[in-house]
Amino acid sequence: MYDKFNFNAISCGGNFADFSRTKERCGILETPHGVVETPAFIFCGTKASVKGVSPQQLMEAQTQIILSNTYHLFSYPGSEYIKKRGGLHKFMGWNGPMLTDSGGFQIFSLGLGSVADEIKGKRSGVSSLLKIDEDGATFRSYWDGSTQILTPEKSMEIQKNLGADFIVAFDECTPFHGDKKYTELSMERSHRWEKRSLGEFICRDDGSQALYGIVHGGVHADLRKHSAEFINDHAFFATAIGGTLGSTKSQMYEVIEMATTHINAARPIHLLGIGGISDIFVGVSLGIDTFDCVHPTRIARHGGALVKRAFRDSPTREHINLKRSEYEHDDNPIELDCDCATCQVFSRAYLHYLLKASELLALHAINIHNIRFMNRLMKEIRNTIKNSGSLKELRTIWC
Amino acid sequence: MYDKFNFNAISCGGNFADFSRTKERCGILETPHGVVETPAFIFCGTKASVKGVSPQQLMEAQTQIILSNTYHLFSYPGSEYIKKRGGLHKFMGWNGPMLTDSGGFQIFSLGLGSVADEIKGKRSGVSSLLKIDEDGATFRSYWDGSTQILTPEKSMEIQKNLGADFIVAFDECTPFHGDKKYTELSMERSHRWEKRSLGEFICRDDGSQALYGIVHGGVHADLRKHSAEFINDHAFFATAIGGTLGSTKSQMYEVIEMATTHINAARPIHLLGIGGISDIFVGVSLGIDTFDCVHPTRIARHGGALVKRAFRDSPTREHINLKRSEYEHDDNPIELDCDCATCQVFSRAYLHYLLKASELLALHAINIHNIRFMNRLMKEIRNTIKNSGSLKELRTIWC
C-alpha cells in the first residue's frame, strides 16, 4: 500500500533533527502524477474545472496540485461516467497530482445553507440533508432533486472511479453550533466511518491512490487529541484537519495547534478549507503541509485580486477590489513585481474596465493572477524555510 | 500618407501577370504592428477584448489581426480615456495589427433592433436612432441612454484616439428594405461623409493609420459600380464592401462581384461582416483579401464548434453543437487533426459536460478552437493559392 507515494521532510537549513510538530517544515510529496513540494496550496476545480482556467494555464502559473469535489461530480456527471472517460485526470486534461474530497463536507454544508458560514459559527439556511444514521447520509441532490445516499463505502467507490491521487475518508463535518456532547458523538461516528473507508480503500487498492484520514473534535483539545491518535493508529497515508475550527482567528489557530501537536509528523498534514494569506503563515508555522480553499478563485469572480502589502489599499484586506473607481486610471499591473501572464500584459485600469463592461476576460485574467500569487507565496515560504529565514519577516511582505 | 503601410499581391504559382479582379490572390499587408498575410480573417474584439481569450492565446492560435468596435468603445469607456491609456493596442495588450470600424454599422444596426437581421432583409426591432441628417447620426447610447451624435469628423477623431492601424470612413449602413431611390440617396450621402472622413483623416494624419473607404449601392449593379469608382478616385488606402448584400446567398455573391469587378485591385479589399466558411471561399474567389465576422466567437458561447466536413453531424451546418447529447460519450477532440490548445487536451465529452454544468471553461476552450480553425482555414486557402492548387477541391474538405 502507498508504494507509489512517499513523503519526506527535507533539510531546512541543515537543522532537520530539530523538527517538531510545532515547527514549519519543507517536504517532498511524491505521487504517481508527479511531485508536490510542500508547503503547497491546492486549488479548487470543484466541478472538474478550475473556473475558466485551462490545465495549460494552471501549469504556466506553476500550479502543483488541484482538487475536485466528489459531491458535485457524483451528482453530475456521475463517477461511473468519468471512469469510462479514463478517470478525472484524463477527462479534465490535468496530468499533475490531484485530490478529491469525500463528499461529506458538501452534504453537510450545502445541507445547511452556506457550509462555510456554518462551520465558522454563523447559522443560516435550510437543510436539504434528509437523514444521518450509522450507515451514512441521505440527501437531496443539488443537481436534479433526487434522493441520494452517501456511505463510507460509496464514497470510496466514487473516489476510486474518479481516480485522483489523494482521496479522503468519509466523515461528518461537525458544525460549530453542536455542543461538546454532539461533537464527541459525531467524532466517534466519523471515526467508525473513516475506519470503514479505510477497509473499503484497502479492498479496492491497486496502488494508484493514497488515503487521508480526517481529525475531528471541534474546538475541544481532548477530543482533537483523541481523534489525532485514532487517525495515527490507522493506516492512512496522510492526515487532514477537519470540522469546525471555531468562530475567531485566534480560536482557529488554537484548534490547529491542538491537532498538529498530536498528529503523526511522519505523514503529510492537510488543513481543510483555509486559504487566507495570514492563516497560511500561521498554519505553516504549526506544521501544516498543504492547504485548500476556494478563496483565490472565488474572489476573482467578483473582481478581487490578491496583492502583497505594498500594493494594497487597505491594511486589513488581503486583496484589492478592481471594480472600485480608484483603479479606473491606474495603469500599473495588479502587482508591479508579479510574473503572471496577466501582470505581463494587463493594467488595473483595463481589468477595471473589463469588469465594468461585463467582459469574461476579467474573471479569467484575475483568476490567473490569483493562482500565480498563491503559488509564488508558497514557493517563497518554502525557500524561507529551506534557507532558515524568518517566516515572520516574510509575512510582513505578504500580509 | 500610408508610408508605414503597404500591400502587395504575391506570386501565385508564378502567374502574377494573370491577376484580375475576379480571381483569388495572396497578399502581404504591412502595418506598423506587423504583417498580415491575406486572405485573412479579422476576429471581433468588440469591447476591446475577444470574449474570454487573452492576447497571448490569440497569438498561440496564430491570429494575425483583430478589430474593435468604435461604437461600443465610444459609448464606454470613451476614446479619450483609451488615448490616455496609450491607445487600444497598449490598453488591451494586443501588439499585432488591428482595425476599428467607423461606428456607423452599430448605430444603424442597434438602432433597428438586430442589424444583422436588418441588412439581411429581416425587419425587426425599434429604433434608438433618433435622427440622420447631412451632418451625421444622432442616437441614444446603449450604455447610459444619453443622446450622442456621430459625424464623419467625430468618427475620425475617435478612431485616431483609439489608434488602430486600420480605420474606416463613416457611412450609413443602407438597409435592405430601402428602395433603390433611398439606397442611391443614402449612398451619395455616405460618399459625402466618406469624403469628409478622408479630409479629417488627412488633417490628423501622422502616418500611424490607414483609412478604408466603403463601397455602397445595395443590390444594384450600377450603384455598386458608381460607388466603387468613387472610392477608387479618392486617396483611401483600402476598400471595404459595405451595406446590404441582399437576402440570399446567391444574391450576396452577385453583389460582391458587382463591387469587386470595379474596385481598384491595387488596394486591399475587405468584406464587412461575412464569416461563413463557404462564403469565405466564394469571397476569396471573387478577390476579397480580408473578412470579419462575430460568427466564430459568437457560436462558441452557445456550444458551437467549427469543424471540417469530415467531423460534422449535418451536411448543411458548418459547426457542431456540443450541447447535444450525442457528444456525451464522444472521447474524440472537436477535430482529430486540429492542433489548437483545446483539441490537444479536451474531448467533446468533456466540453459537453462543461456546457451542461455551466462551467466558464467551455466557452473559453471552444472559442480558442474556433479561432484556430479560422486561422488554419485561411492559411490553407493561402497555401492553395500560392501553389496554384484548387480552391474548389479545398472547399470540399472545409465546407
Using one digit for the tens of pLDDT, what is the confidence trace for A112-130? 444 444 444 444 434 488 8
Write the CA distances from A193 to A161, A186, A197, A230, B224, integer angstroms.
19, 10, 6, 12, 79
Residues A177/A123, Cβ–Cβ less than 8 Å: yes
Yes or no, beta carbons of B52 and A360 under 8 Å apart: yes
Q: Is A77 on the interface with B (CB under 8 A)?
A: yes
Q: What is the pLDDT of residue B44?
A: 97
Beta bridge partners of B239: B213, B269
What would the pLDDT profile of A42-65 be if each residue is shown by its tens digit? 999 999 999 999 999 999 999 999
Chains A–B, number of C-beta pairs less than 8 Å apart = 97
Q: What is the pLDDT of residue B130?
A: 84
- Element (H or E) spanning A156, and its range? helix A152-162
Q: Is B47 on the interface with A (CB under 8 A)?
A: yes
The pLDDT of residue A146 is above 70 = yes
Of A102-116, A373-387, B235-249, B307-321, where does mean pLDDT reach its minimum? A102-116
**Taking CA B368 as the corner, what is the angle to CA B364 and CA B374, rounded to the nearest 5 degrees?**
145
Q: Is B51 on the interface with A (CB under 8 A)?
A: yes
Residues B67/B48, Cβ–Cβ less than 8 Å: no
Q: How far apart are CA B143 and CA B366, in angstroms?
A: 28
Q: How far apart are CA B370 and CA B347, in angstroms?
A: 15
Q: What is the pLDDT of residue A220?
A: 96
Yes or no, beta carbons of A92 and B350 under 8 Å apart: yes
What would the pLDDT profile of B329-369 be if each residue is shown by its tens digit? 999 999 999 999 999 999 999 999 999 999 999 999 999 99
Q: Is A356 on the interface with B (CB under 8 A)?
A: yes
Average pLDDT on A225-248 reads 96
Q: What is the pLDDT of residue B89?
A: 98
- The residue of chain A nearest to residue B361, with distances taken between CA atoms, is A52
The pLDDT of residue B22 is above 80 = no
Average pLDDT on A359-366 reads 96
Pairing type for strands B304-306 and B319-321 reads antiparallel
Average pLDDT on A146-164 reads 96
Q: Which of B3, B18, B101, B313 is catalytic?
A: B101
Q: Which of B165, B171, B279, B292 is catalytic?
A: B292
How far does Cα B11 stand from its chain's mean position? 25
Residues of chain A contacting B356 with CB distance shorter than 8 Å:
76-77
Yes or no, beta carbons of B77 and A356 under 8 Å apart: yes
pLDDT band for A248, please (50, 70, 90 cuts): very high
Yes or no, beta carbons of A345 and B56 under 8 Å apart: yes
Q: Is A76 on the interface with B (CB under 8 A)?
A: yes
The pLDDT of residue A265 is above 70 = yes
Q: Which of A165, A171, A289, A292 is catalytic?
A: A292
Q: What is the pLDDT of residue A142?
A: 79
pLDDT band for B15, please (50, 70, 90 cuts): very low
The pLDDT of residue A359 is above 90 = yes
Q: How far apart are CA A347 and CA A389, in angstroms?
A: 33
Q: What is the pLDDT of residue A152?
A: 97
The pLDDT of residue A70 is above 90 = yes
Residues of chain B contacting A93 with CB distance shorter than 8 Å:
345-346, 350
pLDDT band for A175, please (50, 70, 90 cuts): low
What is the DSSP code (8-state) at residue A286? T
- Sequence length of chain A is 399
Distance from CA of A107 to the nearest CA of B (A): 19
Residues of chain B contacting A347 with CB distance shorter than 8 Å:
85, 91
What would the pLDDT profile of A16-25 be if each residue is shown by its tens digit? 334 343 479 9
In chain A, beta strands by DSSP E: 6-10, 26-31, 34-38, 40-44, 65-68, 98-100, 129-132, 137-140, 147-150, 166-168, 210-215, 238-241, 269-271, 290-293, 304-306, 319-321
In B169-250, beta strands by DSSP E: 210-215, 238-241
Residues B136/B170, Cβ–Cβ less than 8 Å: yes
Q: What is the pLDDT of residue B111?
A: 56
pLDDT band for B110, please (50, 70, 90 cuts): low
What would the pLDDT profile of B300-328 be if each residue is shown by its tens digit? 999 999 999 999 988 788 999 999 999 99
The pLDDT of residue A289 is above 90 = yes
What share of chain A has pLDDT > 70, as a percent?
A: 91
Task: Count other Cβ atoms within 10 Å, centred on residue A100.
Answer: 27
Select the more confidently predicted residue: B121 or A312.
A312
Q: Is A365 on the interface with B (CB under 8 A)?
A: yes
pLDDT band for B108, please (50, 70, 90 cuts): confident
Residues of chain B contacting A360 with CB distance shorter than 8 Å:
49, 51-52, 360, 363-364
Yes or no, beta carbons of A350 and B84 under 8 Å apart: no
The pLDDT of residue B373 is above 90 = yes
Yes or no, beta carbons of B364 and A54 under 8 Å apart: yes
What is the DSSP code (8-state) at residue A325? G
Yes or no, beta carbons of A350 and B93 under 8 Å apart: yes
Nearest CB to B49 within list A84, A86, A354: A354
Residue type present at position B101 = D
What share of chain B has pLDDT > 90, as a percent?
A: 78
**Global ipTM:** 0.93
Average pLDDT on A164-183 reads 88
Asked about B135 being catalytic, the answer comes back as no
pLDDT band for A318, please (50, 70, 90 cuts): very high
Yes or no, beta carbons of B361 and A51 under 8 Å apart: yes
With cell 494555464, the residue in question is A57
> To the nearest whole number, what is the mean pLDDT of chain B?
90
Closest Cα partner for A198 from A32, A30, A2? A2
Asked about A337 being catalytic, the answer comes back as no
Kindly provide the b/e burial profile for residues A116-141, where b requires at least 16 CB atoms within 10 angstroms of the residue's own CB.
eebbbbeeeeeeebeebeeebbbbbe
Contacting residues for B117 by C-beta, under 8 A, at least 6 apart: B123, B124, B125
Q: What is the pLDDT of residue A110?
A: 62
The pLDDT of residue B17 is above 70 = no
Q: How far apart are CA B366 and CA B358, in angstroms?
A: 13
Residues of chain B contacting A346 with CB distance shorter than 8 Å:
93
Residues of chain B contacting A363 with CB distance shorter than 8 Å:
360
Residues of chain B contacting A329 with CB distance shorter than 8 Å:
84
Distance from CA of B97 to the nearest CA of A (A): 17
Yes or no, beta carbons of A360 and B361 under 8 Å apart: no
Residues B224/B254, Cβ–Cβ less than 8 Å: no
Q: What is the pLDDT of residue A111?
A: 57
Distance from CA of A361 to the nearest CA of B (A): 4
Q: What is the pLDDT of residue A176?
A: 67
Average pLDDT on B8-37 reads 72
Q: What is the pTM of this model?
A: 0.93
What is the DSSP code (8-state) at residue B342? H
Q: What is the pLDDT of residue B9?
A: 79
What would the pLDDT profile of B132-187 be if each residue is shown by its tens digit? 899 999 988 878 888 889 999 999 999 999 999 999 999 988 766 778 999 999 99
Q: What is the pLDDT of residue A36?
A: 98
What would the pLDDT profile of B207-243 be if each residue is shown by its tens digit? 999 999 999 999 999 999 999 999 999 999 999 999 8
Distance from CA of A346 to the nearest CA of B (A): 6
Yes or no, beta carbons of B341 and A47 under 8 Å apart: no
Q: Is B357 on the interface with A (CB under 8 A)?
A: yes
Q: How far apart are CA B336 and CA B343, in angstroms?
A: 8
What would the pLDDT profile of B43-64 be if each residue is shown by its tens digit? 999 999 999 999 999 999 999 9
Q: What is the pLDDT of residue A9?
A: 80
